[in-house]
Structure 1
């Protein structure tokens, strides 16, 4: 019986590494697409590792032969190396889709963002949603996995909590349930066999911003001290960033500041809890700081 062949693009990223190992655990034979084999540091006894530059379609030729499924986490958090969100989140994935079509790949799974249709005015989401539109019209079977944020994205709460205070806009009541990369990796691999086309997903704990702030402060064993700024200050900050800085600078902040005023709750999934993640992160920080 032929084993399903899966190609993973974006394997060296935070989520990509979790997906790579989840594919092995689930019995697949993954091919990992990386820019540099030596820097990627994957065990070549477990994985087939191939080099390519996804922004250059010619480098992809021949890599999709015998591939049944493509999973892409390709995207950038910050624009760098002269590349924009449209260059990477959109065009690089278009290159992958076109190569997949040439080789009759059965399914293309792309990791996008929750509420992307409401966030099209944000630079990074504009690129992701444009790619989603392209994938839907490609003729390929597909799944758009839509997480509402990773545990690692909650690092700003911890940074503030370390100083003893957490600052929020508005009343802190909007809810979200960020997800750990390990749990999201399972969702992405399960999507291979799923019939879902659009898959919103979050972690197991649906929390208000106030509750996340309290968890972050608790991880440092500090009393809950939350400072609230009126929402107009958030809007003013967004306007100032968009007006006086480039998208290369304000891209990540734009997404964070916009979603801070939105309900970002998604169907709950997984076993990893944000409270534990905060505690583990703080514990590691303290161990590194101990002489």
Structure 2
């Protein structure tokens, strides 16, 4: 049985990958800053390394005896003083260096759909810089490119709870976001896959109008959508770039950009967005 190193195991996707590795009876080692999130989800790794991937010294030798590295490492909501280049690029580079040193056979990295076309966004630029380095590393690799998580779409539900959803343009932009559990299966199956890049989405292609209506329906609320012209989005982004730091601007820039383009990928999985919204309703 191949031995797996999972980096980013305490993030949204990482938790699901850890559970899938356990379900498929893989030996896996998790790199964590703190084990609290794993304990909360009743996840027991075969080995645990408490370290910071941004600190190359703290992960020395982490890949010894490892066959496959799976990395979901990246910033979703910026904390501390780290930038996208610090985490999405350099932290993964630190891990890649250790993988090469220890003779790891394959490196699986989770990037984003259309990352190559969105290099003007700081988060995508950092991810794609690492992708370039990985492709030229000499290690077998697989780049997983999801088009968005259900957790990202929860913002629609949160707006609906407040009584109004704001959409850019006419709300007809389409996407098929994927549940973390479904994406985790794709990531673990990539261990034995010959594919170098996998674009992946969920089983339902929906417009933003349909997602908004679904959120209101689940809540039993009257549909209330406000459409924002694209020129306002552009002005807001310019102002944010001038008057806020990257911690605020980066995530907003990404969200407000992908909200204006179709993010459709090959359909996969069994989890529906409506069921996800129902679970959110029960939690709250």
Query: Under a length normalisation based on structure 1, what TM-score does the superposition of the two structures give?
Result: 0.93
Structure 2 equivalent of residue 136 of structure 1: 135
- Are the structure 2 counterparts of residues 179 and 38 from structure 1 closer, same or farther at C-alpha, using a change threshold of 3 Å? closer
Q: 1:197 aligned to 2:211?
A: no
Q: Is the 8 A contact 2:89 2:130 kept in 1?
A: yes
Q: 1:106 aligned to 2:105?
A: yes
Q: Is the 8 A contact 1:165 1:217 kept in 2?
A: no
Which digits, 9 at most, give the CA deviation of each residue in 1:61-105, with x for residues without a partner? 222111000000111113322111100110000000010001110
Q: By how many angstroms is 1:44 displaced?
A: 7.7
4+ runs deviating over 3 angstroms: 37-40, 42-46
Q: Give the Cα separation in 1 of the matches to 2:19 and 2:158.
A: 30
Q: 1:21 aligned to 2:19?
A: yes
Q: Give the Cα separation in 1 of the matches to 2:43 and 2:87.
A: 26
Structure 2 equivalent of residue 257 of structure 1: 256
Q: By how many angstroms is 1:163 displaced?
A: 2.6
SS in 2 for 1:199: strand
SS in 1 for 2:57: helix
Which digits, 9 at most, give the CA deviation of each residue in 1:112-131, with x for residues without a partner? 01100111111111111111
Q: Give the Cα separation in 2 of the matches to 1:44 and 1:262.
A: 37
Structure 2 equivalent of residue 93 of structure 1: 92
Q: Give the Cα separation in 2 of the matches to 1:11 and 1:89.
A: 15
Structure 1 equivalent of residue 163 of structure 2: 164
Q: Give the Cα separation in 1 of the matches to 2:277 and 2:36.
A: 32
Q: Give the Cα separation in 2 of the matches to 1:116 and 1:68.
A: 27
Q: Is the 8 A contact 2:240 2:249 kept in 1?
A: yes
Q: Give the Cα separation in 2 of the matches to 1:178 and 1:47.
A: 31
Q: Which runs of 5+ in 1 are unaligned?
A: 286-291
Query: Under a length normalisation based on structure 2, what TM-score does the superposition of the two structures give?
Result: 0.96
Q: Is the 8 A contact 1:6 1:28 kept in 2?
A: yes
Q: Give the Cα separation in 1 of the matches to 2:22 and 2:260.
A: 39
SS in 1 for 2:103: coil
Q: Is the 8 A contact 1:85 1:127 kept in 2?
A: yes
- Are the structure 2 counterparts of residues 99 and 244 from structure 1 closer, same or farther at C-alpha, using a change threshold of 3 Å? same
Q: Give the Cα separation in 1 of the matches to 2:10 and 2:24.
A: 19
Which digits, 9 at most, give the CA deviation of each residue in 1:225-246, with x for residues without a partner? 2221211111111111112211
Q: Which runs of 5+ in 2 are unaligned?
A: none
Structure 2 equivalent of residue 179 of structure 1: 178
Q: Give the Cα separation in 2 of the matches to 1:37 and 1:142.
A: 27
Q: Is the 8 A contact 1:53 1:59 kept in 2?
A: yes
Q: Give the Cα separation in 1 of the matches to 2:167 and 2:36.
A: 42
Q: Give the Cα separation in 2 of the matches to 1:57 and 1:153.
A: 30
Which digits, 9 at most, give the CA deviation of each residue in 1:205-232, with x for residues without a partner? 1101111111111111112222212111
How much is the aligned-residue C-alpha RMSD, in angstroms? 1.5
Which digits, 9 at most, give the CA deviation of each residue in 1:129-153, with x for residues without a partner? 1111111111111011111111111
Q: 1:10 aligned to 2:8?
A: yes
Q: Is the 8 A contact 1:37 1:50 kept in 2?
A: no
Q: Where do residues 236-251 of structure 1 align in structure 2 (5 Å cutoff)?
A: 236-251=235-250
Structure 2 equivalent of residue 221 of structure 1: 220
